Amino acid sequence: MSYWNYAPYVSVAQRKAKAEKKIKQLKKKNPDISPIVIHGRTLATSWWGKSWNRNLERYADYRNRIERGRNYVRHGSVLDLQIRPGKIEALVQGARSNPYQVEIQIEAINKKKWAKIKSACEGKLDSLQELLTGKFPTELQEIFMAQGKGLFPTPEEILLSCNCPDWAYMCKHVAATLYGVGKRLDESPHLFFELRQASIDDLITQALEEEATQMLDNARQKSSRVIDDNDLGELFGIVMEDEPVFKKKTKTAAQKSSKTHLRLLPTDDKKIRTLSKRRSAPPKISPTRNTPKETAPEIELTELEAANLVLKNALQELEKAEIALNAIQTGVANVPQKPIALVAEIIMNSKTGIGVKELAQETGLEKRKLYSMIQSLKSQGKIRNRAYGIYEGKR
């Protein structure tokens, strides 16, 4: 302390060295601490990080004080920052040897606001990745950022606390923590929804359910483009015929099968019409034990190959359409439940807890989907944090 009771000047290099030394000490006791590291002059780079900082700076109560934390967060003074439902906890290095403890409480988003936001998102969000990366329509960006009506908290919904001796409502340690949240959202934007205690799935699944319902409605409607059996023969160069069944005491191969057979014909229209006239009456087949094989009309090999190829492609397309329709009619409601049930089972069966990396290896799911499922399971009270990034089932 100087003669005039002013704190001595500390250079930027000294502050960074002091912070790095303290981080190493803390990691020995708690390896899970998560410091805020700023590279360059930009405090946030993603849409969520920038929007968080912009929301704080547009309120007069915060704009005049939050600037005090810029230098602190740039110099690495935020030694640890944890985001949990409704709460932000941080350790910020100040002038003293021991870091200060900062706690910021954020109220859950109002249910009426959340309902309006979900309604506005219907049909506008196609994927979770689109939401988390901030690549969604400008219309939704304006809705999310609406002052007092959007996703971001107002000063009335934020409660600040720091154990430093500074009497100011927002000290520089709290300000540094708030800017640190913007940087953390660059890395893990899903934490924003965890902080605001809102299910990120609500914004995505609602749009998908609407799309699935529309597909189901379309599937139930008979299309004018459905091909009749007779027209199918003309289109692909085939004739649909039923093999007759004969009643005999001794079962023959003809009696065991009454399936519809496809017989390839030339693709020439004149030949098709001629053959159709010849087959207007049912064929006369004597019910003998050895039924003679029916001779197919003579056609060139190239025509036969072409007809087979056309038929094969048509059958493949019909099979794909049938599979897709069955999946829509029977599996839409269960798609989001099966993976989340698997994730819940793995977490609950883990004795010492499990992280997202291990979950991704066991389930084969992408990390961003796992984060969303974990948040949903936590909100349902099925799992909890054992440590930062480690989850276990509630017992």
Distance CA 188, CA 172 (A): 24
Mean of the pLDDT values across residues 300-321? 72
How large is the average pLDDT for residues 140-160? 91
Model confidence pLDDT, tens digit, residues 313-346: 777 777 777 666 665 555 443 444 468 888 888 8
Q: What's the confidence (pLDDT) of residue 324?
A: 63
- Alpha carbon 293 to chain centroid, angstroms: 58
Q: Report residue 264's pLDDT band, with 50, 70 and 90 as the boundaries.
A: very low
Residues 6+ apart with CB under 8 A from 243: 254, 257, 258, 259, 261
| CA dihedral (389, 393, 394, 395) positive or negative | negative
Q: Are strands 100-106 and 390-393 parallel, antiparallel or unpaired?
A: unpaired
d(CA 204, CA 132): 11
Chain CA centroid to CA 185, Å: 17
Which structural domains are found in the chain, ordered by start? 12-200 (no CATH), 222-245+255-279+300-327 (no CATH), 337-393 (1.10.10.10)
pLDDT for residue 323: 66
Please report, rounded to a whole number, the percentage of residues in the chain having pLDDT higher than 70.
67
**Can you give the pLDDT at residue 383?**
87
Interstrand relation of 78-84 and 87-92 (parallel, antiparallel or unpaired): antiparallel
Q: Is the pLDDT of residue 26 over 50?
A: yes
Does the structure show a pLDDT above 70 at 188? yes
pLDDT digits (tens, 9 = 90+) for 71-122: 889 888 999 999 999 999 999 988 888 899 999 999 999 999 999 988 888 8
Rounded-to-integer distance, Cα 288 and Cα 61, Å: 101
- Spatial CB neighbours of 65, under 8 Å, sequence gap ≥ 6: 168, 169, 170, 175
pLDDT at 158 over 90: yes
SS3 at position 387: strand
Q: What is the pLDDT of residues 191-238, one digit of tens each?
A: 999 999 998 888 876 545 555 455 555 555 555 555 555 554 555 555
Would you state the pLDDT for residue 11? 64
